[in-house]
Chain A
């Protein structure tokens, strides 16, 4: 069997591993625009801060992919012929496939305004970006960073740790969209303000102005100029859907963001036979839930599910198994289950309380949760979601971090953290 994988992030890497486990004879090829094989992109902030070396960035030991007989082709795929079961790469070379995984993730972020190609405008998605960010941070001064999600906030956190003054321009009305509502955004806003980050909500960069070949300022849609030495592009680009589009796979609207996303079923299969998709830019439709994918762990888990199914197995990515833990600036955030689903009941922490929690219930069971600032009980809530435990009457208690949730939920099963 010929397995082709487009993208060598967590989804692609875990899919390749799962395929090899199931099919020792398979030929597995992974294509990527990034010249490097799978590495810990999410650790780039620690790399910039020199807390890990470049050797630590490699997600698997040296020789791992060779030992697994997984071929890495450092070129992106540009088109699919679903009928002929072939793909074409950026050099026009054609490859046959029996099973194909689309794990392309999101497009490189762009400002989309005049002056965006200046040398001091930098993204934060690749190793090369991180090297550049480190150089720019070492020059001090002020940086303008755009975006209000994980990437922008990581970049802002790194810049502050390196003594850079930061202005964060957030195009949305709040921080941490779409995960956080106004109350959660407010918590995050306070944290950033305490750390000296100037946050401007609902404002975007409209131009980058340079003097003497160096970035000097940005203009914004509120007509203000902000003097700065460099610009960090922290907004996520839209999902890379051109390859899927070439196979006639239509994208649906993307939850809480612009652009479309590729819809797959619980087995991570697209509408086209033999073509699967996983990771950022996908939405899983399963058991009445529509779950926007994304995030490192979710992509890795989805990649594994897709790999098992591509190799003839039968695995399902259920919304209740969805788990994504990340850090927004320096506050831990956890997404559990169908956190973005419509429930019939919802409870949220008091906006003035420390930390933020939103729990979504349906038919008396917890179906999803968003936690910010305190990860206590995340495992218990996760298990409650997975087991569909009826918790009616305990909704408000479940918001509290000082309640022994194990004990509260014990009558319904095995919840202990150990």
Chain B
């Protein structure tokens, strides 16, 4: 049994014994149906059979935001228990199939698929294309890890490298379909594949032997933290916010017009308590207000629902933007590439603008030094299956 599965199994056993049925986890859950009973949920979690009916639907719609964890009076991790249910879903939701295109593979078909995908995206990626699924990695103190998010239509990866170039930092880059961190697969309950992918990424990072690995995705940060802890790869994972904050004195700082607010990403500022780093940067960049639900209470962008219930996701995202508007913000700043992918298409023009911390710093250096070679621009969103316009997440 893999470590991921074994760790999760232990958490589930502990949780089942610890649950006192107070229902606080379901009360704060943004997707739990009111009719759902804890007794039924626990029963399905402890059973060996695939979940059925309402429980299966709930397991699929869970965003893995983790809001259920801090409210539990006995400290159990309901999100892990739902993940356990997800790992046993049969059939798996068709929305998960997209994940099968990520990660390493030895078959000829797989290699051709990756090559074709990268060829199609070459023009859009510009200079970044040289890093996508490249074979050769050079030793470097700093590694920028983008994984599959190198293809993100937010263009965050290219902007991060622009900033690194501005700082004259030496670095190596790891990104592409084959170096996806596997966290999405973990969140989809595919524990075996997730373990394989994390082991693969650990091996690739080992080739670079970096001192630190800078990541732009919240879940990539969670995955890299785990890789650093579990595999023999002695590096320090660093969020792009921390990296920016550390170099803040080297940027031509100025105040942006309007008021900003910050959306906490689940796996960095919320679950791992690193929300102060981006805020320290933002306070240097202009006026800031906090939304009523921020920090540990911040709702999730819904990325890890994988679009199973598009209407529900749309509502979650619109509600969050409304919250930002109600707080008096003209901009909602995110630090995670997936949060940006989730919120940007939903933002209505003229109301709250969704930007990343990287976007703001990138704007500063562009203004200071003129455009660096071929920055990647946010391209037109692609239609999603719910009729709203959602960019392809991570690919």
Contacts and interface: CB of A to CB of B under 8 A. Distances in A.
A325 B75 contact: yes
A325 B74 contact: yes
A52 B21 contact: yes
A418 B37 contact: no
B140 to A, nearest CB: 22
Contacts of A10: 17
A378 interface: yes
Interface stretch (B152-160, B226-234, B343-351): B226-234
Contact of A61 (B19, B43, B186, B222): B43
Given A304-B17, A418-B222, A40 B228 contact: no
Closest 7 CB pairs of A and B: A40-B21, A42-B20, A300-B17, A416-B229, A325-B75, A327-B73, A325-B74
Contacts of A42: 20-22, 74
Contacts of B222: 418
A40 B40 contact: no
Chain B, interface SS category: helix
Contacts, number: 100
Contacts of A375: 75
A61 B39 CA distance: 5
A57 interface: yes
B27 interface: yes
A43 interface: yes
Interface string A46-66: 100001100111111100100
A375 B75 CA distance: 7
7 contacts: A40-B21, A46-B24, A56-B39, A326-B73, A375-B75, A415-B229, A418-B225
A303 to B, nearest CB: 9
Contact of A57 (B3, B4, B21): B21
Nearest to B38: A56
B130 interface: no
Contacts of A301: 17
B121 interface: no
Contacts of B7: 414, 418
Given A43-B22, A406-B229, A378 B75 contact: yes
B88 interface: no
A296 interface: yes
B110 interface: no
Interface of B: 3-4, 7, 14, 16-24, 27, 37-40, 42-43, 73-76, 186, 222, 225-226, 228-230, 236, 271, 273
B225 A51 contact: no
Contact of B226 (A58, A59, A61, A418): A418
A285 B331 CA distance: 60
A59 B73 CA distance: 16
Nearest to B183: A418
Among A41, A52, A64, the one with the most B-chain Cβ atoms within 10 Å of its Cβ is A52
A416 B226 contact: yes
B39 A46 contact: no
A297 B18 contact: yes
A43 B25 CA distance: 13
Interface string A188-214: 000000000000000000000000000
Given A43-B20, A414-B230, A60 B37 contact: no
Q: How large is the interface on A (under 10, 10 to 19, 20 to 34, 35 or more residues)?
A: 35 or more
Nearest to A416: B229
A57 B226 CA distance: 37
A103 B233 CA distance: 48
A332 interface: yes
Query: Which of A296, A297, A406, A414 gathers most chain B CB within 10 Å?
Result: A297
A323 interface: yes
Nearest to A376: B273
A43 B73 CA distance: 10
Contacts of A300: 16-18
A410 interface: yes
Interface string A319-339: 000010111000010100000
Given A378-B75, A415-B229, A56 B21 contact: yes
Contacts of A43: 20-23
A415 B17 CA distance: 21
B225 to A, nearest CB: 6
Contacts of B17: 10, 14, 296-297, 300-301, 304
Given A60-B39, A332-B73, A414 B229 contact: yes
A70 to B, nearest CB: 14
B3 to A, nearest CB: 6
A332 B22 contact: no
Given A326-B74, A406-B225, A417-B271, 16 more contacts: A42-B74, A51-B23, A52-B23, A56-B23, A56-B37, A59-B39, A61-B37, A296-B17, A296-B20, A300-B17, A325-B74, A407-B229, A416-B230, A418-B4, A418-B7, A418-B226
B73 A58 contact: no
B92 to A, nearest CB: 21
A14 B153 CA distance: 51
B229 A296 contact: no
Contacts of B229: 406-407, 410, 414-416
Interface centre among B38, B75, B230 (most CB of A within 10 A): B75
Contacts of B38: 40, 56
Interface string A297-315: 1001100100000000000
Contacts of B186: 418
B43 A332 contact: no
Contacts of B226: 416, 418
Given A61-B43, A332-B73, A416 B225 contact: yes
Contacts of B271: 417
Contacts of A376: 273
Contacts of A304: 17
B39 A297 contact: no
Interface in A23-49: 39-43, 45-46
A51 B21 contact: no
A410 B21 contact: no
A115 B228 CA distance: 64
B22 A40 contact: yes
Contacts of B75: 325, 332, 334, 375, 378
Contacts of A297: 14, 17-18, 74
Nearest to A64: B43
